[in-house]
A and B are shown apart, each in its own frame.
Chain A
């Protein structure tokens, strides 16, 4: 693992799984600094993360997945880290795929997307999610003029340039950043790469997208992609 890499893990009420995730990462990349951003959990997520050897930033209340990620990016920038890998705290992202993300960053990419669909894996989301993933993949591909196989992945690597870009006021949505951010990053001239990663099915079957949320999410994401395409963006600082 190159020096200056921080693994950021946003977590909400993951006391039962976060430690296992940290241990799994430690087995693949021993000694790597880990940051758990506790997004206002009501359980012992923060304590479990500390016990697992991670640094912890705790939001005073729930701010949303996007805000948790941005807190992690800001932490990395202020502590002088040169790059960030982001993973989920529910154990879906397999740590064995971390070297592939690192290799993508080493190859000069600013944003490396861990794609579930570039390799013949066992990850098989429900058909509703699969449809959403395909829709956003198609929209992102159309907007970027190149194929994006997995536009909704949360398993990503970011260069310092990408971190600085995301740190701007209003540059990063606090609720749920997704395919719209890929469009934004690409339009700002940052280099995007996709690498194959493996993911497990969510052990509890839980998801951010339950009830009416998928419909709201789809409407919002289509709207945000259209907004992104209509925006003029300044080039990020190097």
Chain B
């Protein structure tokens, strides 16, 4: 019985944390929506389990606490990983945009095209004289 309510509590916590992280801009909207929905699903599942299958729960009180903590820990790690992934994704995209903008707007570097520049050509000529 207790484990069912723990599932619900973990789901509620997960949905809340995911929504707050998305609100703060640390979690992308896609990840935020997915984790919040998953948390809401766990919350509903926990409530239903508690209401209808409480008597058949396979855990003792101690076991339920350990299992609940393990679930919370696993999901917490998953959420933290999603936050890190979101931030990395944002940075990679920003970097890719900057590369694209630089390629499109920066004046071409002398010699970058493989065609000798005036200065490079005269240097070559001077070297040949030597």
Interface residues of A (CB under 8 A from B): 37, 55-61, 63-64, 67, 70-71, 74-75, 78-79, 169-170, 173-175, 180, 219-220, 223-224, 227, 230-231
Contacts and interface: CB of A to CB of B under 8 A. Distances in A.
Contacts of B96: 59-61, 63, 67
B29 A55 contact: no
Interface of B: 19, 22-23, 25, 28-30, 32-33, 36-37, 89-90, 93-94, 96-97, 99-101, 103-105
Given A223-B22, A224-B29, A231-B23, A57 B101 contact: yes
Given A55-B104, A220-B33, A223-B32, A170 B25 contact: yes
Nearest to A60: B96
A56 B33 CA distance: 34
A169 B99 CA distance: 17
A75 B25 CA distance: 24
B19 A175 contact: no
For the residues of B in contact with A, the DSSP-based class is: helix
Given A57-B100, A223-B37, 8 more contacts: A59-B100, A63-B97, A174-B93, A219-B33, A223-B29, A223-B32, A224-B32, A224-B33
22 contacts: A37-B100, A57-B103, A59-B97, A59-B100, A60-B96, A63-B96, A67-B96, A71-B101, A75-B104, A78-B105, A79-B105, A169-B94, A173-B28, A174-B93, A175-B28, A220-B29, A220-B33, A223-B29, A224-B29, A227-B29, A230-B23, A231-B23
B90 A174 contact: yes
A227 B100 contact: no
A58 B101 CA distance: 8
Q: Can you list the 6 inter-chain pairs with the closest CB atoms, starting with the nearest? A: A223-B33, A57-B104, A220-B33, A170-B25, A224-B29, A71-B97
